[in-house]
Amino acid sequence: MIEEVKPIVLEMEKALLAYKHYVTSLKTGKAHSLFVENILVESYDKKMPLKQIASISVPDATTIIIKPWDLSLLKAIEKAILKSNIGLTPNNDGKSIKINMPPMTEEDRKNIVKQLKQESEKYKVNIRNIRKKANAVLKDLEKDKAISKDDLKKEEDEMQKLTDKYIKEIDDLFSLKQKEILSV
């Protein structure tokens, strides 16, 4: 691969990683620490992610338990969760915060799959745009006689293979998550 195109190819990898993060943070009716770990909590006169001030555990598929290292932060954590608009209600027992995941209706599941499909398409378009950008760089290199027409064709073919690979990974992740969401 030509040196000028490598940073552009890294953008494809970053897009895939961002999609993976999006997919794992999507609510599926099952508890996951990702739902709460990055909620910013007002603590010690600054905002800190919840994962830095408390331990977060998931003892079963419907419960998240948050145990702050400093019990004086319980109210601040509870307030931050309520303000975050993630649709979860914290229960403060004085020692920890327990969050029960509400069961999802069939309509909820279908809406989440619809949203997931839209996001998948956005990420695939993003990857295609990155390919387009790389191909433009390659054509400029060929125009400036830095690479030959044969090299241009070979590099464009390689970019297409990479694009196909990343799009297939997005499709595979979509299919897995769709199955997970729709299974009751």
Domain ranges of the chain: 3-25+105-182, 33-100
**Over the range 99-108, which residues count as b (16 or more CB within 10 Å of their CB) and which as e?**
bebeebeeee
Tell me the CATH class for 33-100.
Answer: alpha beta
**What is the predicted pLDDT for the residue at 6?**
87
Q: What is the mean pLDDT of residues 54-72?
A: 93
pTM above 0.75, yes or no: no
pLDDT at 31: 82
Q: Are 96 and 132 in contact (CB under 8 A)?
A: no
In the predicted structure, residue 117 carries a pLDDT above the cut 70: yes
CATH 3.40.50.1820 fits 3-25+105-182, yes or no: no
The Cα–Cα gap between 45 and 154 comes to 56
- Give the per-residue pLDDT at 61: 83
pLDDT of the residue at 184: 62
